[in-house]
């Protein structure tokens, strides 16, 4: 057992830190509380930030250089996420394209698809959204009904996608569509569709935060060239499960850095407000302990990566931990701050340190997206603990 980063890793980290110091104009929390900030201006900022990272060679960390990536190891990827969190840099605009579609194309796409789609994806010239969930298919994703019927050299898409993250901001969507009504898993295909294709309608959905990061996408006799099929017909489910694994994969370490910073801020604020009684300290102490344990989970994953292990179903444990902890943390935070903890950021009286109400509301999303907590527990029960299925 050895949890010390190697010299090479430390060097990579120090270079990245120096780069962030020189290139990040100001932390994301400052951008959020800029009185002139709008949802559009923040998205534009995320686009610029992505381009800066791309130019510096910090995007597509794990991808081969051939595909515009860095060819970085899992450990470097994890260090990168941790340092981004430490610097409180914005999330890149094409987050879903790079974290989900990129790996899907690299592992399952054709050479032509990689050449066509990866460069503009990295350069933030084409923004992607994820067309998985439907009104009738959420946790039970395989029951999806959006259909893709072959007609000559085209697929014809009909149906509806919902909770489509970045839908209102994207140029393209990757869609899971049904190509065979009879085969539940094997009848799903992975198709790329430009959102300005005739027959596509994108509608914004307003989230509980008031923002519209997600939306819904309607397909009415939308013709998509067959060349936009990723993998083979019927391979969509397998591809989706692989890429969801990437989405779920790491992150504990980066989350512990973000939460740790906000938690330290919360402790300082409580002290400033004179809220130092035993009940307050116990709550702070429990949050601190959980965050440290989450960090330990992250270090363990990182060390396992460094030791040559690939992420497995245990990544469900990490996702369940951070997302459930996020809820407890944010809720406790606004409780400890008292009535003022519920002030929205436009209020002159709101705390300037952390946008506590936004964090509180956003924390409700983490246990739903990317496989709800219930789905994560199913995965742990079946694939880690090998418990029998209910049907037996």
Partner 1 sequence: MKFNLSEDQALLRQSTRDFLTSEWPIDKARKVMEHDDSGYAADEWARLAEMGYLGLTLPASVGGQGLGAIELAIVLEEAGRACMPGPYLDVVLAGALLAAAGGQDALLKDLAAGKQLVTIARSDSAYASEATTVTHLAGGRVRGTKYFVPFAAAADALLATTPEGVCLVNGPFDVTPLPTFDLAQRFGEVRFDHAATLIGPPILLERNDHLAAVGAAAMLLGAMSRCLEMTLEYVQTRQAFNKPIGAFQALQHRLADMMLKTESTRSAVYRAAWCFDTNDADTALACAAAKAYAGDAARLVCGESIQMHGGIGFTWELDLHFFFKRAKTLEQHYGSTEVQLERALQAAGF
Angle at 127 between CA 56 and CA 31, to 5 degrees: 65
Least distance between partner 1 and beta carbon 77 (Å): 14
Q: Is residue 4 close enough to count as binding partner 1 by CB under 8 A?
A: yes
Angle at 332 between CA 327 and CA 335, to 5 degrees: 130
Q: Is residue 310 close enough to count as binding partner 1 by CB under 8 A?
A: no
Q: Which stretch binds partner 1 (CB under 8 A): 39-47, 142-150, 218-226, 289-297?
A: 289-297
Q: Is residue 273 close enough to count as binding partner 1 by CB under 8 A?
A: no
Q: Which stretch binds partner 1 (CB under 8 A): 52-60, 118-126, 209-217, 373-381?
A: 373-381
Task: Write the binding mask 249 to 268 for partner 1: x where contact by CB under 8 A, - elsewhere.
Answer: ---------------x--x-
Q: Which stretch binds partner 1 (CB under 8 A): 106-114, 137-145, 201-209, 286-294?
A: 286-294
Q: Which of 262, 324, 260 is CA-nearest to residue 288?
A: 260
Least distance between partner 1 and beta carbon 261 (Å): 12
Q: Is 197 exposed, middle or buried (0-12, 13-18, 19+ CB in 10 A)?
A: middle
Tokens of 201: 């309608």
Q: Is residue 56 close enough to count as binding partner 1 by CB under 8 A?
A: no
Of 184, 185, 206, 286, which one interacts with partner 1 (CB under 8 A)? 286
For partner 1 (CB under 8 A), the number of binding residues is 50
Least distance between partner 1 and beta carbon 160 (Å): 29
Angstrom distance (rounded) from CA 37 to CA 48? 15
Q: Which of 281, 239, 310, 255 is CA-nearest to residue 62?
A: 310
Q: Is residue 380 close enough to count as binding partner 1 by CB under 8 A?
A: yes
Q: Is 279 exposed, middle or buried (0-12, 13-18, 19+ CB in 10 A)?
A: exposed
Least distance between partner 1 and beta carbon 3 (Å): 5
Q: Which stretch binds partner 1 (CB under 8 A): 161-169, 175-183, 224-232, 291-299?
A: 291-299
Residues 9-28 that bind partner 1 (CB under 8 A): 9
Q: Is residue 285 close enough to count as binding partner 1 by CB under 8 A?
A: yes
Angstrom distance (rounded) from CA 386 to CA 392? 13
Residues 93-122 that bind partner 1 (CB under 8 A): none
* Residues with a known catalytic role: 247
Angle between helical axes of 236-248 and 315-336 (0-180°, round to 10): 50
Angle at 137 between CA 357 and CA 207, to 5 degrees: 20
Residues 66-95 that bind partner 1 (CB under 8 A): 75
Q: Which letter does DSSP use for residue 232 in this model?
A: S
Q: Which of 366, 295, 369, 288 is CA-nearest to residue 326?
A: 366
The b/e string for 4-19 (b: 16+ C-beta within 10 A; e otherwise) is: ebeeebeebbeebeeb
Q: Is residue 296 close enough to count as binding partner 1 by CB under 8 A?
A: yes
Q: What is the contact surface with partner 1 in residues (CB under 8 A)?
A: 1-6, 9, 75, 264, 267, 271, 281-282, 284-286, 288-290, 292-294, 296-297, 299-300, 302-304, 306-307, 314, 317, 320-321, 374, 376-378, 380-382, 384-385, 387-392
């Amino acid at each position: 057992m050895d949890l010390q980063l190697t010299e090479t890793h430390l060097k990579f980290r120090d270079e990245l830190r120096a780069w962030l110091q020189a290139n990040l104009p100001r932390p994301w929390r400052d951008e959020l509380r800029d009185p002139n900030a709008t949802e559009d201006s923040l998205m534009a900022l995320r686009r610029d930030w992505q381009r800066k990272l791309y130019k510096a060679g910090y995007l597509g960390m794990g991808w081969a250089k051939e595909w515009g990536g860095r060819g970085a190891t899992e450990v470097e990827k994890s260090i990168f996420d941790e340092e981004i969190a430490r610097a409180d840099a914005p999330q890149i605009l094409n987050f879903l394209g790079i974290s989900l579609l990129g790996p899907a194309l690299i592992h399952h796409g054709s050479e032509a698809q990689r050449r066509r789609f990866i460069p503009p994806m990295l350069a933030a010239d084409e923004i992607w959204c994820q067309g998985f969930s439907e009104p009738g298919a959420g946790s039970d994703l395989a029951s999806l009904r959006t259909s893709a019927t072959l007609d000559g050299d085209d697929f014809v898409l009909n149906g509806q996608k919902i909770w489509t993250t970045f839908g209102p901001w994207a140029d393209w969507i990757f869609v899971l569509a049904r190509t065979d009504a009879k085969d539940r898993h094997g009848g799903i295909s992975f198709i790329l569709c430009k959102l300005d294709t005739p027959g596509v309608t994108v509608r914004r959905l307003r989230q509980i935060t008031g923002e519209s990061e997600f939306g819904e996408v309607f397909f009415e006799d939308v013709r998509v060239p067959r060349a936009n099929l990723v993998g083979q017909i019927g391979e969509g489910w397998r591809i989706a499960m692989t890429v969801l694994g990437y989405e779920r994969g790491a992150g504990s370490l980066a989350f512990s850095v973000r939460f740790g910073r906000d938690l330290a801020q919360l402790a300082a604020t409580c002290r400033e407000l004179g809220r130092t009684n035993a009940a307050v300290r116990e709550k702070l102490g429990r949050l601190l302990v959980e965050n440290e344990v989450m960090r330990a989970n992250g270090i363990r994953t990182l060390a396992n990566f460094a030791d040559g292990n690939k992420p497995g179903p245990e990544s469900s444990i990490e996702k369940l931990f951070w997302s459930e902890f996020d809820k407890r943390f944010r809720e406790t935070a606004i409780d400890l701050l008292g009535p003022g903890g519920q002030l929205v950021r436009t209020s002159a009286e709101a705390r300037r340190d952390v946008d506590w109400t936004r964090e509180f509301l956003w924390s409700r999303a983490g246990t739903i997206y990317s496989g709800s907590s219930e789905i994560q527990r199913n995965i742990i029960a079946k694939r880690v603990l090998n418990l029998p299925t209910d049907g037996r």
